[in-house]
Amino acid sequence: MTQKKTDLHRDTLAVREAVERSQYGENSEALYLTSGYVQPSAEAAARRFAGDEEGFTYGRYGNPTVASLEQRLAALEGAEACISTASGMSAILMMCMGLLKAGDHVLCSHSMFGSTIKLIGTDLAKFGVESTFVSQTDVAAWKAAIKPTTKLLFAETPTNPLTEVCDIRALADIAHNAGALLCLDNCFATPALQLPIKLGADIVMHSGTKYLDGQGRVMAGALCASQELVTKTFLPVLKSAGMTLAPFNAWVVLKGLETLDIRMQAQSARALQLAQWLQDHPSVARVHYPGLASHPQHALAMAQQSGCGGAVLSFEVKAGDADQARARAFHVLDALQVMSLSPNLGDTKPLMAHPASTSHGRLTEAQRQTAGVVQGLIRVAVGLEHLQDIQTDLDRGLLTF
């Protein structure tokens, strides 16, 4: 495949890194819709299936459009290689199937994405994989929870929906001292703001569904890591389990990466302004946003995320008890006329959600309490609309309890 264009700057790689043009000289990367590939000879086919020669054989194993996305995302994350999947969750499944066996132990933050907690804590437990969930921000708790069988540390920063920030370098040191790997879910910050591999992470996991696509169109996932992990540990799982990314979805995300940096800068700038406005709002009890000086890990976030808080914030409405808080949060969401009530995020359209009843709805009340996902909490994934229109939309509910 193409030579890595390592001497080019990030901005250039974001729009240029891809497999070679076809003989037609297309300027926009081609979308190859094919499930199979004609082989040049029986000998070549045998070598390709054995992995002794590069070349596409079958759609479950690889596709040139998918390869373009993988090359571009690897370049942006500063990783040797990348392997993409049909969704973010299937990327986590691929990682766990590749790295773990019965008896192994995974150490995770208890503030991770709801489905991640479910997949690792419940589904993988059926196959004998043990897991422990610890505080996102308590480095000593991570260290204390390490076991001789710990193979993987898995964190996400900033988290959904409370935007808690963990110290990637500190967790990488704990993992490596224990002979384990650190995987970082970089969905919220994206490589536009945060480069976990530079900070010591071994694997970067992505839900391409979110900011990488950036316009709420397709599902996608990916793992960025060393060439060896990708080829020897993850690719065999893809081949046998088939969590393959569709070429069309890969193409959409590939084009999304071209505008990732400018979208993240613009959406983060709006998020900071909205967070500052909410902080002074009479109906708001608390705002969670890493860009605010009041955020408990503000300094760490600014150092780790190129001085940027990201595009997601959450806030708690003022209320007397949990029932009133839930009713008031629902009132704010139901009053919206401009922003979309949607549990998704990573869109240019601002999206609002009630995490306790949606993304974290499958958790037990106890798990939700530990994760801090209270009933009055509302998450805003800030998009590209005008700040004043967003504020007016929120005030429709916030001023009419």
Cα(128)–Cα(112) distance, integer angstroms: 21
> Considering only residues 138-177, where is the footprint of ligand PLP by CB under 6 A?
156, 160
Q: By CB under 6 A, which span of 143-151, 183-191, 228-236, 378-386 interacts with ligand PLP?
A: 183-191
Residue ranges in 100-228 assigned as alpha helix (H): 114-118, 139-144, 168-177, 190-193, 227-228
Q: By CB under 6 A, which span of 21-29, 40-48, 84-92, 300-308 interacts with ligand PLP?
A: 84-92
Q: Does 210 bind ligand PLP (CB under 6 A)?
A: yes
Q: Does 133 bind ligand PLP (CB under 6 A)?
A: no
Q: How far is the CB of 114 from ligand PLP (least distance, A)?
A: 9
Angle between helices 322-334 and 387-398 (to 10 degrees): 130
> Considering only residues 222-241, where is the footprint of ligand PLP by CB under 6 A?
none
Tokens of 286: 């608390």
Nearer to ligand PLP, 70 or 185 (CB): 185
Tokens of 308: 């940027």
Which residue in 209, 244, 249, 267 binds ligand PLP (CB under 6 A)?
209
Q: Are 348 and 384 in contact (CB under 8 A)?
A: yes
- Token look-up 């700040």 returns 387
Give every strand in the sheet of 203-207, ordered side by side: 81-85, 221-225, 203-207, 181-185, 150-156, 105-109, 130-134
Which residue in 69, 171, 219, 237 binds ligand PLP (CB under 6 A)?
219
**Strand pairing of 377-381 and 340-341?**
unpaired
Q: How far is the CB of 85 from ligand PLP (least distance, A)?
A: 9
Phi (first) and psi of residue 286, to 5 degrees: -160, 145
Q: How far is the CB of 398 from ligand PLP (least distance, A)?
A: 25
Size of the site for ligand PLP (CB under 6 A): 15
Report how far apart, in Å, the C-alpha atoms of 118 and of each of 108, 245, 335 are: 12, 22, 32
Q: By CB under 6 A, which span of 13-21, 128-136, 180-188, 272-280 interacts with ligand PLP?
A: 180-188
Nearer to ligand PLP, 155 or 398 (CB): 155
Taking residues 87 to 126 in sequence order and writing x for each that binds ligand PLP by CB under 6 A, - otherwise, the string is xxx-----------------------x--x----------
Q: By CB under 6 A, which span of 28-36, 204-212, 238-246, 376-384 interacts with ligand PLP?
A: 204-212
Report how far apart, in Å, the C-alpha atoms of 52 and of each of 1, 25, 44, 46 are: 14, 29, 9, 9
Q: Are 298 and 164 in contact (CB under 8 A)?
A: no
Cα 271-213-261 angle, rounded to 5 deg: 55
Nearer to ligand PLP, 114 or 397 (CB): 114
Q: How far is the CB of 355 from ligand PLP (least distance, A)?
A: 11
Nearer to ligand PLP, 32 or 188 (CB): 188
Q: How far is the CB of 213 from ligand PLP (least distance, A)?
A: 9
Q: How far is the CB of 318 from ligand PLP (least distance, A)?
A: 27
> Considering only residues 312-371, where is the footprint of ligand PLP by CB under 6 A?
none
Question: In the beta sheet, which residues pair with residue 223?
Answer: 83, 205
Tokens of 399: 């001023």
Cα(142)–Cα(178) distance, integer angstroms: 11
- Token look-up 């900070």 returns 199
Cα pseudo-dihedral 224, 228, 233, 236, rounded to 10: 100
Q: By CB under 6 A, which span of 38-46, 49-57, 181-189, 371-379 interacts with ligand PLP?
A: 181-189
Q: Are 82 and 222 in contact (CB under 8 A)?
A: yes
Q: How far is the CB of 277 from ligand PLP (least distance, A)?
A: 24
Q: How far is the CB of 188 from ligand PLP (least distance, A)?
A: 6
Q: How far is the CB of 89 from ligand PLP (least distance, A)?
A: 4
Q: Does 221 bind ligand PLP (CB under 6 A)?
A: yes
Residue 298 burial (CB count, 10 A): 16
Q: How far is the CB of 234 from ligand PLP (least distance, A)?
A: 16
Question: In the beta sheet, which residues pair with residue 107?
Answer: 132, 153
Query: What is the binding site for ligand PLP (CB under 6 A)?
Result: 87-89, 113, 116, 156, 160, 185, 187-188, 207, 209-210, 219, 221
